[in-house]
Every structure is written in structure tokens, then in C-alpha cells.
Structure 1
Amino acid sequence: MTVIDANNLILGRMASAVAKRILEGEKINIVNAEKAIISGRKVATYDRYKQYADRGRDFGPYFPKRPDQIVKRTIRGMIPYKRAGGKEAFKNLKVFIGVPGELSQQETSTIENANISRLSTINYTVLGEMSKKLGSKV
């Protein structure tokens, strides 16, 4: 079981690396999901996620507002989750807000090519801030 700290990691790059690893059968726990980064202008990013969240208000498809669920949904979009292999792989993934007690003693790893230092711009949004704007209570 691998524990990945999402602090200052770009969401899409982290998600693609994690998706590949869970498809190979590795069990992964992601901690500090609220500290992940989404690159791009804050207003444009918020508008895009607000459109996703409002689209399924009454009948679906429902889009999450909590940071841990947004990370999980992003990774789900990168695997064939409607097929048996994808469903089994998706069960190998757990995402947490903060660091839960049982994982606090374990060593965390990071994904080097998903680090915020790879951004060539200062335009980015922290997932936790955007989640609060969307109406998340966490």
C-alpha cells in the first residue's frame, strides 16, 4: 500500500499517474486531497467546476463538491470504471481530506512530475478553496 501526499501536486498529472498504478493492481491512499492544485485562472476554473456541479442538480449526473470526492472522480475518469477490471482497480483507491490517524505513522511519497514547480505560470487554484466556493461544508 502506497500513501501519496497530494500537497502541492497538480491534480491532473497526479490523477493520471495514480490511475496507471491502480490499473496495475497497486493499492493507493491519497492524503491531503484539499491541498492539490488545479492549474489555470481561478475564475475560469471555478466557472468550469460550477457548471459541472450545477448540471446534475435534479436528475444527474451528479458531480462532487468535496475535495476528496473531486480527486476520486478525476481519477475515475481516467480508468475504464464501467468494465470489471476498472471497477476492481477503483477499489484499490482511497482518498482522504487531511491525514487520518491510521496513516499518520506511514511514510508518504510524492509524484515528482506532478509537482507545482513544473507550472510555468502563477495561475492556479487550491482544490480546498474551490471546493468551499462550490458549497462544500468540509
Structure 2
Amino acid sequence: MKSYMARQGEVERKWHVVDAQGANLGRLATEVAMVLRGKRKAQYTPHVDTGDFVVVVNAGKVQVTGRKAEQKMYRRHTGYPGGLKEMNYEEMQQKKPEEIIKKAVKGMMPRTRLGRQQLKKLKVYAGPEHPHRAQGPQELEIGVR
């Protein structure tokens, strides 16, 4: 008996929409990463992009537990001496709420060419509206399989 290996052209992609309002950041990111990688499908193949597209709405209303809102830091460097920029979770939620979810999901993806390709299928929006209605996205329940 042979093992089934998916090929790039034969994978059917679906679109899912996730409402992040009131969701826990880590649990949301874990589920989204699994859908992007295709691990919920029976035809999952590690070296082929078998995942689906995910649209996350209400990214500005995602929650964290404990004191992470004050203590969690997002750091980046400009490339110049002394160019370290820091922003805590509360500031990031005010200025760039989409980046919070993008960074959380990116941290759960493989650090390879395939992981970067799969991450491009993630679309995040701060509000309840998104421009992907034509693709007919299905509602994806987080925490329910």
C-alpha cells in the first residue's frame, strides 16, 4: 500500500473567516496556523502547501490573559545605531491591531520558504468588514473541530 502525497496543483483551497472578538490571542493563533498549514485536512503533506486561506476580522478586539497587556513587548530595530523601538501590547493594539495577530501566527509557522508562502494566505482586518466576500468564506469556529 502506498502513502498518499498531495501535489501542488491538486489541492483545493477554501476560504475561512474568523471573528477574533473576545478570543484569546494564543489559542486563536494556534488554530489559524493549523488551517494555514493544512493540518486539518486528510491530504496534509509536509512539503506541499495544502492549507486554506484565513480572513481574521475584529483583530482590534482580541484579548490576552493576565498582565500581558502591560508587560508583553513588541520590539523592532531600524538598522541604525540605537534604533531599537519597543511597543507594549496596549500601544500596539491602538496603533496596529492587525500586526498583533500576524506576529502571533508567524511565530507558530515553520521558518522556511514554505512557511512564508503559507503565511501569505492570512488576511487580517481590524474591523468587522473585509473585501473577500466574493470568495465565499465559511465561518470557522475556534476551539471546535
Shorter-chain TM-score: which interval?
A: 0.5 to 0.7
Alignment pair present for 1:110 and 2:141: yes
AA of the residue aligned to 1:36: V
User: 4+ residue runs of structure 1 moved beyond 4 angstroms?
Assistant: 60-64, 103-107
1:23-42 matches, cutoff 5 A:
23-24=37-38, 25-41=51-67
Q: When you count strand as a share of all residues, which structure comes out higher?
A: 2
In the TM superposition, what whole-angstrom CA distance separates every residue of 1:42-101 from its partner, at most 9, and x where no partner exists?
A: xx531222xx34x63654587792111111011101102x41110111011010011225
**Residue 87 to residue 62, structure 1, CA distance change in 2 (3 Å):** farther
Task: Look up the match of 1:9.
Answer: 23
Distance 2:139 2:115 in 1: 25
Partner of 2:106: 76
| Contact 1:6–1:32 under 8 Å retained in 2 | yes
Deviation for aligned residue 1:107 = 5.5
Structure 1 residues 106 and 88, CA gap change in structure 2 (3 angstroms): closer
Question: What is aligned with 2:45?
Answer: none
State the distance in 2 between where 1:29 and 1:21 align.
Answer: 11
CA distance in 1, matches of 2:139, 2:21: 11
Give secondary structure in 2 for the equivalent of 1:79.
coil
After TM superposition, the score normalised by the length of structure 1 is: 0.64
Q: Which residue of 2 aligns with 1:85?
A: 114
CA RMSD across the alignment: 2.8
TM-score by length of 2: 0.62
Aligned residues: 107
Q: Higher Cα Rg: structure 1 or 2?
A: 2
Distance 1:10 1:94 in 2: 18
| Identical pairs, percent | 29
